[in-house]
Structure 1
Amino acid sequence: MKVKKLITASLGVVLVSSIFLLSACGETEVSKVDNGDKKTEAKADENTKKKENKVFKIGDTVKVNDVELTITKASYTDPAPYTKAEKGKVLTIELKAKNSGDTQAFVDNTDFNLYDKDGNKLKDYFGYDEMAVSGELNKGKQLTGKLYFDVPQANSYELVYTPAFSLDSKEIKWNIEVK
């Protein structure tokens, strides 16, 4: 009987500790970085709900926790010679990521999804020798890379980034206009 009470008490302590640790991790912080390095914070309270739902555009630098992401360019590129684009076009999105934090950060193409104007998810394109952006970023370092999607031609798309290592599954959105 004592063993059963001890196990029950231990499980209760572990459960309470786990909840405390998970809540201490906090929410994903998102802010837009202005050209003058001023930051507009977007935190999860009632006064900033509109900022959280903001849709960014090409050229905007968005700070997600300690990683600054900038979509620098979006253009249609020719498909690889032996890998057809099923929807007709390959959209190549150029990305710059910078780690402004004190610990390593990870950025990967699988954290990004592209949608058409009707909300349909578009497939990644895997025909090029060059791999899509992916990598660990040490403190103060940056990387550039590309995201590739098989798309029908359109004026704009929605790119959604959901950091893999966040607890709240916050989505950061860009309106991608192809010119």
Structure 2
Amino acid sequence: MMIKKLAIFGLTILTATTLVACGNPDTSTDKTPKTEETAKDKVSTTKTVDNIDMKIANLKLTESGDGKKDILQVEMNIQNNSNTPFAIGGGDFKLKTAKDKTVKVDPQASNFGDEIAAGKTLTGKAYFNLPKGTEKATLIYQPKDKAEAEWEVTIPEKE
């Protein structure tokens, strides 16, 4: 009789534990990933200038060696849909921070620059030294005096 009671008690505990473990997960959701997806979607918008498609492929933030500034790496995909070669480089881009400070590419970094043959694509990286704490900026394609394309970017967290 005692063994029967222990078996029933043990089975009850096992059933209760199983039901708790198989219950519904927490249904609350974190809103942050949706914001990041929206920001990434906004960044990845393709801009076309003279049959050249330009798209930000990736943004990456690291700290500079001296720790005084942050380095933003902007990876671009550029496709030449024209019939002639097209020359482009990191120096054709600049960043404007929310505080209206213009930041040019770091001339000492290994920024992209090449001539893209007709129908070909170039993927390259440009590097910008940003003031610490910069959260938003506008990436501007300006090969000459006038801006020809702009992207609103949210600066990612440091890696």
Consecutive unaligned residues of structure 2, counting only runs of 5 or more, are 1-40
User: Match for 1:122 among 98, 103, 109?
Assistant: 103
Give the 3-state SS of the residue equivalent to 1:118 in structure 2.
Answer: coil
Size of the aligned set, in residue pairs, is 115
User: Match for 1:95 among 71, 76, 96?
Assistant: 76
| Amino acid of the structure 1 residue aligned with 2:116 | L
Give the 3-state SS of the residue equivalent to 1:169 in structure 2.
Answer: coil
User: Of the two, which has the highest radius of gyration?
Assistant: 2
Give the 3-state SS of the residue equivalent to 2:124 in structure 1.
Answer: strand
Is the contact between residue 138 and residue 151 of structure 2 (CA under 8 Å) also seen in structure 1? Answer: yes
Consecutive unaligned residues of structure 1, counting only runs of 5 or more, are 1-55
| Amino acid of the structure 2 residue aligned with 1:150 | N
TM-score, normalization: structure 2?
0.64
CA RMSD of aligned residues (A): 2.1
User: Match for 2:129 among 150, 173, 178?
Assistant: 150
Give the 3-state SS of the residue equivalent to 2:100 in structure 1.
Answer: coil
Percent identity reads: 25
| Alpha carbons of structure 1 residues 138 and 95: separation in structure 2 relative to 1, 3 Å | same
TM-score, normalization: structure 1?
0.58
- d(CA) in 2 for partners of 1:108, 1:98: 13
Instruction: Note the 1:11-50 alignment, pairs <5 A.
Output: none
Indicate the residue corresponding to 1:66 in structure 2.
51
Q: CA deviation at 1:66?
A: 1.6
Is the contact between residue 123 and residue 151 of structure 1 (CA under 8 Å) also seen in structure 2? Answer: no
Deviations 1:29-76 (A, max 9, x none): xxxxxxxxxxxxxxxxxxxxxxxxxxx931111111121100111120
- d(CA) in 2 for partners of 1:138, 1:124: 24
Indicate the residue corresponding to 1:138 in structure 2.
117
Give the 3-state SS of the residue equivalent to 1:57 in structure 2.
Answer: helix
Give the 3-state SS of the residue equivalent to 2:76 in structure 1.
Answer: strand
